[in-house]
Amino acid sequence: MPDTETVFDDLVTVAWTDGRLRILDQTLLPAEERYVDLTSVDEVVEAIRRLRVRGAPAIGGAGAYGMVIALDEARPATAAEARKVLADAAERIGTARPTAVNLSWAVERVSAAAAVGSSAAEVRARALAEADAIVAEDRAACDAIGRHGADELVDRHRLLTHCNAGRLATLGIGTALGVVYAKAAAGHPVEVYAPETRPLLQGARLTAWELRRFGVPVSVLPDSAAAMLLASGRVDAVVVGADRIAANGDVANKIGTFGHAVAAARAGVPFYVAAPLSTFDPDTPDGDRIEIEQRDATEIRRCGDRPTTPPDVDVWNPAFDVTPHELVTGLITEVGVLRGDYSLAIARLFERSTTREGEAP
């Protein structure tokens, strides 16, 4: 099994290249691998909203570099003007998708770090340095999550995941799929079941594409077949990513995750969530307070160029759901696996983190 750096060294998800933001357009996968350069705030916001770049850590990185693009686009003459550009860009970029906390966290972090610059040039330099730091930290976090997850699941080889929480969704090797890659790199037998993840098929299009690229056995199944698969005894554990984790451990993730958690509990299969500290939101007390993004009805009404519903039918299309913390066996983070009383564990973790300069969030 090849190491992840060998396989992914030519795969760009989010990168700063020659003064512009380069992303892999994930709306075209798996049919076409096309890279797109973004040079304006409008293009960054459009790419995030249209899911050209997606996944909580990845859109956080894109948003961070988007702040640098805002400064390059506006060309402020003074530090005061540059701070105004940052404030306006943070509002525009940070609200492009509301559920994933990494996005607002990243743009606010860049804005705060850059604002202390004494000139427009220093503000810009600080913004880019902070964006680079966010990318480096997420890569390290993904590696650590993979190691902790591989240790936790050392005897569990058949894993069900949901949506895509891998290389395409992060700035490193992934969170949920980072665990898979770490297990494979360590020589553990591992195979993955990937529900399609309707309506945009991130599991079928993206997770299957990634895992095939890495050489991990993967089977795609309809979302509605996951409960039956879990009940059959053919799944050893469920491992998913997250877009926001509340202070009590409730988890917002791609729509369909809650159903898998319920089915896993019924089948006696452990259910894990893998996420970096930047995805935790200690200021949101529970899942009821998480804003759930509602997507356009056309995602349901059409599949490609073909209509799938009558044109006048009502549509409810939430992008995410919330899995209650009591259904979560463990939260796999870069500092280890949290379990038990999540409210206490998360409070202690962030009390410790806030005393260390530069730690997330």
Q: What is the CATH number of the domain that holds 98?
A: 1.20.120.420
Range of the domain at 120: 4-139
For residue 360, pLDDT beyond 60: no
For residue 8, pLDDT beyond 60: no
Confidence class of residue 351 from pLDDT cuts 50, 70 and 90? Answer: confident
For residues 133 and 191, membership in a common domain is answered with no
Residue in the block written with tokens 């039918």: 313
Strands 302-303 and 306-307: antiparallel
What span, in angstroms and rounded, lies between the C-alpha atoms of 319 and 243?
11
Report cis status (omega within 30 of 0) of the bond before 318: no
Q: What is the pLDDT of residue 9?
A: 58
Q: What is the pLDDT of residue 6?
A: 43
For residues 106 and 66, membership in a common domain is answered with yes
The radius of gyration computed from the CA coordinates of the chain, to the nearest angstrom, equals: 20
For residues 122 and 262, membership in a common domain is answered with no
Average pLDDT over residues 55-65: 97
What span, in angstroms and rounded, lies between the C-alpha atoms of 106 and 60?
5
For residues 135 and 179, membership in a common domain is answered with no
Strand-pair partners of 318 = 294
| Alpha-carbon torsion angle 84, 45, 38, 108, nearest 10 | 40
For residues 118 and 265, membership in a common domain is answered with no
Look at residue 14 and tell me if it is in a domain: yes
For residue 342, pLDDT beyond 60: yes
243 is catalytic: yes
Q: Note the helical H segments in the chain.
A: 4-8, 41-49, 56-74, 79-94, 101-115, 120-152, 176-185, 202, 208-214, 226-231, 257-267, 298-301, 342-353
Residue in the block written with tokens 């796999």: 332
Phi then psi for 52, rounded to 5 degrees? -60, -40
Q: How far is CA 333 from the centre of its chain?
A: 13
Cβ 35 vs Cβ 47: under 8 Å: no
Q: Which string of DSSP letters, residue by residue, matches 246-269?
A: ETTS-EEEETTHHHHHHHHHHHT-
For residues 135 and 145, membership in a common domain is answered with no
- For all residues of the chain together, what is the average pLDDT? 94
Which of residues 80, 106, 139 is at a domain's end?
139
Look at residue 360 and tell me if it is in a domain: no
Residue in the block written with tokens 């996944």: 55
Confidence class of residue 10 from pLDDT cuts 50, 70 and 90? Answer: low
pTM, whole model, 2 decimals?
0.93
> What are the tens digits of pLDDT across the range 132-175?
999 999 999 999 999 999 999 999 999 999 999 999 999 999 99
What span, in angstroms and rounded, lies between the C-alpha atoms of 22 and 282?
31
> What are the tens digits of pLDDT across the range 294-306?
999 999 998 878 8
Look at residue 224 and tell me if it is in a domain: yes
Look at residue 48 and tell me if it is in a domain: yes
Average pLDDT over residues 260-280: 97
Residue 299: give its domain's CATH number: 3.40.50.10470
Q: What is the pLDDT of residue 2?
A: 40
What span, in angstroms and rounded, lies between the C-alpha atoms of 128 and 220?
39
> Residue 201, SS3?
coil
CA neighbor of 63 nearest in space, from 19, 33, 95: 95
Total domains in the fold of the chain: 2
Look at residue 358 and tell me if it is in a domain: no
What span, in angstroms and rounded, lies between the C-alpha atoms of 14 and 140?
15
Residue 270 neighbours by CB under 8 Å, 6+ apart: 156, 237, 238, 264, 329, 330
Residue tagged active-site, from 243, 250, 281, 321? 243
> What are the tens digits of pLDDT across the range 66-101?
999 999 999 999 999 999 999 999 999 999 999 989
> What are the tens digits of pLDDT across the range 192-215?
999 999 999 999 999 999 999 999
For residues 65 and 162, membership in a common domain is answered with no
Which of residues 139, 172, 190 is at a domain's end?
139
Look at residue 211 and tell me if it is in a domain: yes
For residue 353, pLDDT beyond 80: no
